Structure 1
Amino acid sequence: MRQNPERRAALLDAAIRVLAGQGMRGLTLRAVDAEAGVPTGTASNYFSNRGRLLEQVTTRTRERLTPDPALVDETMRIPPGRELLDVLLHQLVDRMRADPDSHLAMLELRLEATRRPELAAVLTETFRAELADTTEFHVGTGMPGGRMAVVLMYLTMSGYFLDTLTTPDVLAEHPLDDVIRELVHRMIPDDADGGGGTGAPVA
């Protein structure tokens, strides 16, 4: 059967909304059809089973959260250093706030992966590739701090997102700007900053 790429994307977007709003128990092919506003049976024509749907949702969330290339090009005019890293981390948070459904859906997929080895393999490959790409971007653009700095920032921001999306009051006394500023200054030593020493980060 010939498939429509736009229809597939719309079905995956509907699946993300179902996951974010109803959790894994609510995710069925019928629920995806209802959320997408299409005839019953449409999703089953695109995804052979629920497991295949989950794998493709993973890919779709990454597509939705990919930064705008034009914005990246503009941002990268800032010299490598604390100011640039501060801006990049704020943009990362902006994407989370603009699309919380994708992050909530991924939390559901992470939990489901503890019960589905095949899904765990997909998520592991996806996150490893993203971390590797981020590391190469960081190092390749001349950002100081080294590869371990990327790992520490990955862990910090993942934890920040988790609390922000699920229990935001935990971090109520720790404003985002303060967290990012402190993270950047701890990750990039004064003598390693190539973007202007200890100048104030851009909020």
Structure 2
Amino acid sequence: MAETRDRALDAAVRVVGDQGVRALTHGRVDAEAGLPKGSTSNWFRTRDALLSGVLVWIAEQERAELTAAMAPAHTPDEVADALCGMLESATGLNATRTRARYALFLEVTAAPGILPVMRTQRGLFEEWTRDRLADLGAPDPESSARTLLALCAGLIVNRLTVAPDMPVRESIDLALRGALAG
């Protein structure tokens, strides 16, 4: 049964990433996933439940990928390499998922019931980033984590929109040096 849920969530990400949030319906997700009618609504009864489910699904996938990429990273250069790789993946191979994430971010501002889900997921990313920066010796990992995440978000938006080939390494190096210097 969980396979059906996973197929629905994968399909929902494609629908939102390729067609926008307004295209997200239970029926479209069923069709995109090749599932029988009503399958998605069995897992997500309402549109808000589906939106929340997709947000959590995207965040879980991104955290798993980030954790795997960072596992061998123990120095600032290795962390920068991993972050650059993740940014390039987010704007290349996984661009559809990333577009879906950003589209959902904007949508949930009008859906107060979903906003806590998004904030919880953001908090998990901040905590994870703060811990990595603390491991590297950052004197203020809390604010450095927020700054680094904001920089990464801006780089992603630029690469998805106006500057698809924009290099990211220089910006990441600068942010990490700043975080480690205090």
TM-score exceeds 0.5: yes
State the Cα distance separating 1:94 from its structure 2 match.
Answer: 3.8
Structure label with greater radius of gyration: 1
Identity %: 25
Q: Quick one: which of 127, 131, 151 aligns to 1:136?
A: 131
Structure 1 segments, 4+ long, off by >6 Å, are none
Normalized against structure 2, the TM-score is what? 0.86
Q: Contact 1:64 / 1:102 at 8 angstroms: preserved in 2?
A: no
Q: Quick one: which of 5, 19, 22 aligns to 2:19?
A: 22
Q: Quick one: which of 81, 86, 93 aligns to 2:80?
A: 86
State the Cα distance separating 1:156 from its structure 2 match.
Answer: 0.6
Aligned positions of 1:105-184 closer than 5 A: 105-139=100-134, 141-147=135-141, 148-168=143-163, 174-184=166-176
1:200 corresponds to: none
Structure 1 gaps, min length 5: 193-203
Pick 1 or 2: higher relative contact order, CA cutoff 8 A, min separation 6: 1
1:59 corresponds to: 56
Change (3 A) 1:33 1:164: same
Normalized against structure 1, the TM-score is what? 0.78
State the Cα distance separating 1:6 from its structure 2 match.
Answer: 1.1
Structure 2 gaps, min length 5: none
SS at match of 1:137: helix
State the Cα distance separating 1:34 from its structure 2 match.
Answer: 0.9
